[in-house]
Structure 1
Amino acid sequence: MSGGVDSAVAAARAVEAGHDVVGVHLALSRAGGTLRTGSRGCCTIEDAMDARRAADLLGIPFYVWDFSERFREDVIEDFVAEYRAGRTPNPCMRCNERIKFAALLERALELGFDAVCTGHYALLVDGPEGRELHRASDAAKDQSYVLGVLTAEQLAHTYFPLGTTPSKALVRAEAAERGLTVAQKPDSHDICFIPDGDTRGWLAEKVGTATGDIVDRAGAKVGTHEGAHAFTIGQRRGLSLGVPAADGKPRFVLEIRPVDNTVVVGPREALAVAEISGATYSWAGAAPTASAFACAVQIRAHADPVPAQALWDQDAATVVVTPVEPLDGVATGQTAVLYDGTRVIGQFTIDRTVSAVPVDA
């Protein structure tokens, strides 16, 4: 129970369904702030109190479990290490993969519980080959992308009571009817452990600054920067280029090279990616029966899925995906989630991209 409206209503529905429910709030930071700042914040005292009030209203036991050390190691330190390596990670994926449905689920099973119930918007379907993960009924709130890291074993011990709810407005209305004080509490957003939203400044403190070159695709220097970690693939603003493009058009960040602290920029069309691949992957349920299969690929939580062909090379332990139309602005470190209709097939961390536009084009 995070202290938000979704987990409170999920708990209420679980109780109403006749389950033996215990509320657990995860303390993920030992230096959490006392108060939230609007919709920003992580593990604040206010959030814990909101969760406790909801549990008290529902008449269920409530505990706070300290996972701050594991969160620091598995999520925050991973986030910093990925940026140091020039990649763009998704900390929500890591939290689901290593904390909520790993550390939390492991402890729950050890204590004799059957499942972890959360307020995520996604559907679980018992298919012919086991439990399947599907998109939620409310496309606007669907969170199947960030849950794509879950394995068959984890899905077997997971419960998403909100997956069939047509809209978030109905969840808030239900919370109000139940007397839950969090009915109108703002949704949290951005990176939870950077409550002020200044990711660039936060990374500068963790990674440090170091002057480097900004170059074009041919390797010619066109500017300088104070730290490659401050840039993301597809970024246009804040480049401060000293040499304008020959055609006068704006340039975008195409590549980040941490080894020599170089940022590569180029035209908008060079952001198009014709192929992605990764060696860190998992299947959300049964593994594909064929090495090559059609799918849809989604590379961001709120991006549209793109039809594609996937090749699972089990010998090389890699997944290669070729979209029907080029993907836009893909960064290594991002997660690619594969779908078959509404069903999540699996996911992989992107570690290689192939541009659709040759360097000399």
Structure 2
Amino acid sequence: MSKGRVLVAMSGGVDSSVSAALLKEQGYEVVGAMMRFWPDDKKDDCFETCCSPDAAYEARRVADIVGVPFYLLDYREEFQQKIIEPFIAGYQAGETPNPCVNCNTRVKFDSLLKKARMLGCDYVATGHYVIREGNALLRGDPRKDQTYFLWGTPKEAIPHMLFPVGHMEKPQVRALAERFGLPTAKKPESQNICFVQGDLKDFLADRLTARPGPLVDLETGQVIGEHHGAQFYTVGQKKGLGLFKTHLERYVVRVNTATNEVIVGPREACLWGGLEAREVNLLVGPGELPEALEVQVRYRTKPVPGTVELLEGGRMRVRLSEPQFAVTPGQSMVLYQGNRLLGGGFIARPLHNQLESRAGAGLAVG
């Protein structure tokens, strides 16, 4: 007897391929699907390996080997509107957006889940390294954990999500792919933004109008250089400032596209003790948030203890137990209790930087 019908989001990579094979072996009725994002007027290599036409061919081959039906679902218009356009707009506003969060929130576990229901499926499965226990999402392998990218998941969607490889380590997944005879067993991982080929600056330069402007030193208020367009810079950036002749070690502290200024300062100016977040999504009720929780402000940083205050309009104020480097507008602030994902939000602005408060009075730092 079938454990249920499940739509597996297949990217053409090893993780989703093994997920499909495992679910079939475990007794689920599996339907494979790949979301088509690439447009008609682009070359085959316009998208990264995980979202390319070649990846669709690999996904279909896997589906044939596993013995499940396969659909190529057209999400081109939706991906453009919900992922690519907000990504470009974020940089235009001086933020550093993370499109993977939006893709998981607005496409995979929203639109795709609706499509799954139309196809008579009870679940959507992906190859994320995440563990689901009941209505809770937990960290998977610490080296591959992807809960950071799932904070925006609608709470009501969690019971309908499956992560077959979430409790595994990558070598185990590749070994299973070999056992199942899947052609993706040795396929390299995709590390880049799927719709950006080559250099990110080139991608943005083709879509944004940028003007040179001043690099302003936070401590003196003086112009110490020129940038090539404020939209191309991100908080914490050290390379590419063109300040080697000044012998100053400077990092980007703020990006102000309204005034076309990039504010730079010493490394300690990029350490913040708090932040304000927008579009907050909680996977527990507001009254269920524990007093002792951890906050993670970048994917590869360790979470630190913090306190939170819910504000009106889906916003949240966060105080961190120790200052964090490069708290960047547009990136994600993610809340945990131990290994459990509690929710998160997009960083609207960093708070509590003593050096900036002392040195930046009167500066238009946004």
After TM superposition, the score normalised by the length of structure 1 is 0.92
Structure 1 residues 86, 99: closer, same or farther in 2, change over 3 A? Answer: same
Alignment of 1:7-18 (within 5 A): 7-18=16-27
Q: Answer yes or no: is the 8 Å Cα contact 1:269–1:357 preserved in 2.
A: no
Residue of structure 2 in register with 1:174 after alignment: 176
Residue of structure 1 in register with 2:258 after alignment: 259
Alignment of 1:22-61 (within 5 A): 22-31=31-40, 33-34=43-44, 40-61=48-69
Equivalent residue of 1:270, what SS?
helix
Please list the CA deviations of residues 257-292 of structure 1 after superposition, one character each: whole Å capped at 9, or x if unmatched: 0101110000111100011111311012x2231577
Q: Answer yes or no: is the 8 Å Cα contact 1:292–1:309 preserved in 2.
A: no
Give 5+ residue unaligned stretches, structure 1: none
Equivalent residue of 1:7, what SS?
helix
In structure 2, C-alpha distance between the alignment counterparts of 1:95 and 1:155, rounded to whole Å: 16
In structure 2, C-alpha distance between the alignment counterparts of 1:34 and 1:233, rounded to whole Å: 33
Q: Answer yes or no: is the 8 Å Cα contact 1:3–1:49 preserved in 2.
A: yes
Please list the CA deviations of residues 107-128 of structure 1 after superposition, one character each: whole Å capped at 9, or x if unmatched: 11133211111110101012xx
Residue of structure 2 in register with 1:135 after alignment: 139
Higher helix share: 2
Please list the CA deviations of residues 82-118 of structure 1 after superposition, one character each: whole Å capped at 9, or x if unmatched: 0000111101001101111111111111332111111
Structure 1 residues 55, 83: closer, same or farther in 2, change over 3 A? Answer: same
In structure 1, C-alpha distance between the alignment counterparts of 2:309 and 2:339, rounded to whole Å: 20
In structure 2, C-alpha distance between the alignment counterparts of 1:35 and 1:85, rounded to whole Å: 29
How far did 1:195 drift?
2.2
Structure 1 residues 42, 177: closer, same or farther in 2, change over 3 A? Answer: closer
Structure 1 stretches of 4+ moved >6 Å:
none
Please list the CA deviations of residues 233-264 of structure 1 after superposition, one character each: whole Å capped at 9, or x if unmatched: 111111113883xxx54000000001011100
Give 1:159's aligned amino acid. L
Give 5+ residue unaligned stretches, structure 2: 1-9, 360-366
After TM superposition, the score normalised by the length of structure 2 is 0.90
Residue of structure 2 in register with 1:250 after alignment: 249
Structure 1 residues 124, 259: closer, same or farther in 2, change over 3 A? Answer: same
In structure 1, C-alpha distance between the alignment counterparts of 2:60 and 2:313, rounded to whole Å: 49
Structure 1 residues 242, 220: closer, same or farther in 2, change over 3 A? Answer: farther
Residue of structure 1 in register with 2:186 after alignment: 184
What root-mean-square deviation, in Å, do the aligned CA atoms of Structure 1 and Structure 2 show? 1.8
How far did 1:156 drift?
1.7
Residue of structure 2 in register with 1:331 after alignment: 328
How far did 1:356 drift?
2.4
How far did 1:358 drift?
3.0
Equivalent residue of 2:86, what SS?
helix
In structure 1, C-alpha distance between the alignment counterparts of 2:258 and 2:13, rounded to whole Å: 41
Is residue 340 of structure 2 the alignment partner of residue 340 of structure 1? no
In structure 1, C-alpha distance between the alignment counterparts of 2:181 and 2:21, rounded to whole Å: 11
Residue of structure 2 in register with 1:274 after alignment: 273
Question: How many residues in Structure 1 have an aligned counterpart in Structure 2?
Answer: 347
Is residue 156 of structure 2 the alignment partner of residue 159 of structure 1? no
Structure 1 residues 204, 234: closer, same or farther in 2, change over 3 A? Answer: same
How far did 1:222 drift?
1.1
Give 2:253's aligned amino acid. L
Residue of structure 2 in register with 1:214 after alignment: 215
In structure 2, C-alpha distance between the alignment counterparts of 1:26 and 1:44, rounded to whole Å: 10
Q: Answer yes or no: is the 8 Å Cα contact 2:13–2:50 preserved in 1.
A: no
How far did 1:42 drift?
4.8
How far did 1:36 drift?
8.8
Equivalent residue of 2:305, what SS?
strand
